[in-house]
Amino acid sequence: MKLIEYQGKDLFRRVGIPTPNGVFATSAADVKSFIEKNPGSWVLKSQVMMGGRGKAGGIKFADDAAQGETLAKELIGKHLVSIQNPEGETVKSLLVEEKTNIESEAYIAITVDRDTRTPVFICSAKGGMDVEEVAEHDPDAIVKYWVDPAIGFSPYIARSLFFAAKLPAGYGKTFPKICAGLYDLFMDYGANLLEINPLVLTKEGTVIAADAKVDLDDNALWKHPDVQAWNKAAPSDEDQEAALAIGLGMFNYKKFADEAGEPPKEVGTIANGAGLGMGTMDAVKNAGGGASNFLDIGGGAQAELVKKSYNLVTSDPRVKSMFINIFGGITRGDQVALGIVEALKGDDVRKVPLVIRLTGTNAEEGRKILADAGFFPVETMDEGAAKAVALTKGAK
Ligand code: GDP
Ligand code: MN
C-alpha cells in the first residue's frame, strides 16, 4: 500500500521525525481561510501518489491568502504528468505547509535489499529533485548501509552514513534520530520503502522531512488497522472511485485503454478472485480478443454485486460481449445462476451477449438455468474466452 505524502508524514510524526507544520485541504476556499488565519509563506503541495511533482508543476508557493486561493484553484483539478508517471493523475487535494528556507537537500531512504535479504539505508548529500540523475551520473555520491536485522539499529549506522555521504555538518545532531525513526517505522509497519527526499537542512539550522514517500507491505497492514483504513479513504482515480461506489475494494476494478497494434478491448470481464481475473484477461487475449477491464468481484458473488459489476463494466461503450468467470467451490452453482438471471433481467441493464463459466457444486444445474435464460454457459475458461471473443464479432 502506497501512502500519499500527508499520510506518510503522519507516520513520520509518530516516530519523532520532524515534518513542517501544515494542513490538508480539498478546496481553494479552505486554503484561503487557513492562510488568512495563519499569515506567512506557505507551500501548496499536490497530494497525488506520483513522484516528480516539483518538476510537473504540482508544487507552488503562496505568500498571502489571495495568492494561496488563486494557486489552489489552479492546482485542484489539474492533471499532473511526470517522467515517473506518464499517464498522470488529477489533483484532488493539497497539503498546505509552512515554507522552509532551504540551505541544503539530502536524501535518506530505507528499503529491502532482496539480494542480502536485509534492510538497507540509502543516503546522499545530493538530494532533491534530481536524485535520479545523481544515481546515474554520480553513483559515488550515493552510499548504503546494510543493517543486520538480528542486531538492529544503532546510532553508529547513522554516523557511518553521515560521514560516508559527506552530509553537511548541520545535519549531524538530528540525523541519527531520523534514521532511528525510519528504522522503527520500517520494522513496526512492515515497509517496502520509506524515503525522505529532500531531507532539508534549513537556513535556521533545523532538519526537517520536506517530503515523504511510504510504501507498506500489504501483508503487515493488519498490525495497524488505522493505517489500513486509509486505503479505503483515498481513491486516486476514477476506476478506484467507481469500484468503491459499488462496494468493491478500490483495487478490484481497472479499465484498460485501447493499445495500438492490439485487438480492440471489447470483452468485459468479471471473475471472483484477482488471480482468476488476470487469468480471464489472458484467456481473452489468447483467443485473439482484448479484455476491456479487470474486475475481481470477490468471494461469494452475491447477485446484487454481480448486477452492479455488470453495469459498471458495460457502462464502457466499447464492450460488445461479457465473460463472467466464477469459480464456485462450495458456493452452489444453481444459486449463483439464479442470482445472475434474476439480477440481469431488468430493463436497467445494457444487454450484451453474456458468456458464463460456472464450476463447483451444482455447476451443471447452474448451466442449464443460464442456457434457458438465453445466456451462454461454458465449462472451461478457454472455451468461454473463445466464445466471448466470437460474440464481439457478431457470432451467435
Ligand atoms: P516531489 O517533486 O514530488 O518529490 O516533491 P517534493 O516534496 O520533494 O518537492 C520538490 C521540491 O520542491 C523540493 O526538492 C524543494 O526544492 C521544493 N520545496 C518543497 N517544499 C519546499 C519548501 O518548503 N520550501 C522551499 N524553498 N522549497 C520547497
Ligand atoms: Mn520529493
Q: Is the CB of 51 under 6 A from ligand 1?
A: yes
Class of 102-223 per CATH? alpha beta
Average pLDDT over residues 287-302: 88
Average pLDDT over residues 340-367: 90
Q: Is the CB of 57 under 6 A from ligand 1?
A: no
Catalytic residue IDs: 107, 195
Q: Is the CB of 366 under 6 A from ligand 1?
A: no
Strands (E) located in 203-251: 207-209, 213-216
Beta strand pairing call for 191-202 and 118-124: unpaired
* 51 CA from centroid of ligand 2 (Å): 7
Look at residue 234 in the predicted model and tell me its pLDDT.
Answer: 63
Q: Is the CB of 211 under 6 A from ligand 1?
A: yes
The rounded distance, in Å, linking the Cα atoms of 117 and 259 is 38
Look at residue 247 in the predicted model and tell me its pLDDT.
Answer: 85
Tell me the β-bridge partners of 96: 23, 44
Instruction: Identify the CATH number of the domain defined by range 236-392.
Output: 3.40.50.261
Residues 205-251: tens digit of each pLDDT: 999 999 999 999 988 988 998 998 887 556 678 899 899 889 888 88
Is the fold of 102-223 the same as that of 236-392?
no
Other C-beta atoms lying within 10 Å of the C-beta of residue 134: 18
Q: Which region among 112-121, 219-228, 272-281 has the lowest average model confidence (pLDDT)? A: 219-228
Q: Whose CA is nearest to atom 6 of ligand 1?
A: 211
Residue 186: which of 84, 108, 107 has the closest Cα? 108
Amino acid at the residue 67: Q
Segments making up each domain of the chain, as ranges:
21-98, 102-223, 236-392
Q: Whose CA is nearest to atom 12 of ligand 1?
A: 54
Entry pTM? 0.67
Average pLDDT over residues 179-197: 97
Look at residue 331 in the predicted model and tell me its pLDDT.
Answer: 67
Look at residue 84 in the predicted model and tell me its pLDDT.
Answer: 78
Provide the pLDDT confidence category of residue 300 given band limits of 50, 70 and 90.
low
- Architecture per CATH, domain 21-98, reads as 2-Layer Sandwich (3.30)
